[in-house]
Every structure is written in C-alpha cells, then in structure tokens.
Copies of this chain bind each other. A is one copy, B any other.
Amino acid sequence: MDAILKHRSIRKFKPSTVDKALLEGLLLAGTRAANTGNMQVYSMVVTTDPLLLEKLAPCHFNQPASKAPVQVTFCADYNRFVKWCLQRNAQPGFNNFLSFLVGYGDAFLAAQNVCLAAEEKGLGTCFLGTTMYSAKKVSEILRLPKGVIPVLTLVMGYPDEQPDLTDRLPMGGVVHWQTYADYSAEDIDRMYREKESSALTKHLLEVNKKETLAQIFTANRYPKKMNEDISAALIEMLKEQDFL
C-alpha cells in the first residue's frame, strides 16, 4: 500500500545497471497478477543491451525516460498459446478482437505488478505509452513473431531525481457510487479547479502560449491528427495479425 501511494514516474536514472536476479524477482511478481483463464497470453521482453536500447529509444521519441538502463516491453502474446494448442490437437480460435483485448489487458495487470515490485526494491520506473505508437518498429527490433503485439513498456533503473507526487482529480471526479452520475458544467469546473490553478499549469500555459490547460492536451500533447494516424497504423497492424 505504501509503494502504491508513493508512486511517481522517474525519468532520469543513474547509469548503474540492475542486478539480473533482482530483475527476475520483479518479473516473477508480474506473473502473479491475475490473468484471463490462467492462459498467460502475454510476454515480457527485458532489454538491457545498450545497442538494443539505443535502437528502441527513437520508438519512444527519445524521451528522457527512454535512456533508462532496463526496458521491459509487455506484449499481448498468442504465439505461445496457439503453438501449444496446435501441438495438442486443439483448434485455437483467438484470431479476433476480443482475444487481442484480453492479452492487452492481462499484460497491463502484470506490468503494474512489476512496477510496484520495482519501486518497493528502490528502483524508479516509468511507463512508456509510446510502445503502441511505434508498435510495428518495436516488433521488428525485438523480433516479435506473428501473434505477439507490444502494448506497453516499463523502463526502470536507479533514480537520479526525486519528483513530487503528481496531482490527481478529486476522488469525486473518477469514482461513481452505484451507477454513473454524469457531470454538470459546474461539476467539471469543480473537478478541474485544483489542477488548473496549480503552479505547474501556470508554467505550462506560459511556455506553450495557450489560454487553457485543456488546449495543451488537445493541441500539443494529443492532437486529433496524431491520434488518428496512430489509430490507423494500429488497426492495420491488428488486421495483418488477424486480430481485426
């Protein structure tokens, strides 16, 4: 619980490597997460080789966190399970969208376990959502066979910074009791008030020359065109892999 409440993303790491036995313990923690039907349709690819990390960094837009000494790429993986089915006279039926989502979700549960276990051991971590942005390129570098889709990367290493906890919406902004209570305009104002009035927001508005924080999200960070282009590439990849 303590590790959960203290979580912050670390984007600057000491150059020190992480002991392999320690890493193995974290990966074991990943496998203890619940997973659909205990099929374990995910894989964890651990990359520590500096040359490979250098190749992977552009997939993650060379963001500072991509310079971490360890990258674990979590993948939805039907390659192994389907091979097993075929060797056991069973006809797999996993070439469909639901199966992709099952592998995707189970990979995220495992990833969160690895993240928490790493933090408890004194490591800093950061999730890179850019894995999905560059899924095809990541697949090539990590030599993923058909049926394996990279969905999320967790980088880790010994932290070389101590950031504050990041803000969150008030609990009333994300929790609903019994059924969903939709938000009025006033609710929205109230939920975002603290975030909008923070020193960080004021700084971001100045640097980005924007009127509102929301505009920074829609125009700078997650613009419609970028989201659409990546969506098109993902859909194409899922079709090539027979998941769509």
A residues with a Cβ closer than 8 A to B are 1, 4-5, 7, 9, 24, 27-29, 31-34, 36-40, 42-49, 52, 75, 77, 79-81, 83-85, 87-94, 96-99, 101-102, 104-105, 108-109, 111-113, 115-117, 120-121, 126-127, 129, 132-133, 141-145, 148, 151-152, 165-169, 171, 173-180, 182-183, 185, 188-189, 191-192, 211-215, 217-219, 221-228, 230-231, 234-235, 244
**Which residue of B has the minimal Cβ distance to A218?**
B90
Query: What's the Cα separation between A108 and B174 when bound, in Å?
Result: 14
Query: What's the Cα separation between A171 and B44 when bound, in Å?
Result: 10
- Known interface pairs A4-B113, A84-B188, A231-B97. Does A105 touch B152 (Cβ–Cβ under 8 Å)? yes
Q: CB distance B7 to A143 under 8 Å?
A: no
Question: Shortest CB–CB separation between residue A1 and chain B, in angstroms?
Answer: 5
Q: CB distance B32 to A168 under 8 Å?
A: yes
- Known interface pairs A93-B223, A191-B80, A217-B39. Does A171 touch B1 (Cβ–Cβ under 8 Å)? no
- Known interface pairs A105-B151, A144-B180. Does A212 touch B89 (Cβ–Cβ under 8 Å)? yes
Q: CB distance B32 to A183 under 8 Å?
A: no
Quick one: copies of this chain in the complex?
A: 2
Query: What's the Cα separation between A177 and B143 when bound, in Å?
Result: 12
- Known interface pairs A98-B132, A230-B98. Does A215 touch B84 (Cβ–Cβ under 8 Å)? no
Q: CB distance B129 to A38 under 8 Å?
A: no
In the complex, which residues of chain B have a beta carbon less than 8 angstroms from the beta carbon of A109? 108, 111-112, 127
- Known interface pairs A88-B213, A183-B80. Does A231 touch B175 (Cβ–Cβ under 8 Å)? no
Q: CB distance A182 to B43 under 8 Å?
A: no
Q: A24-B175, A90-B218, A101-B104 are in contact. List 8 more A-B contacts (CB 8 A).
A: A33-B112, A81-B217, A83-B188, A93-B223, A96-B227, A104-B104, A142-B180, A143-B182
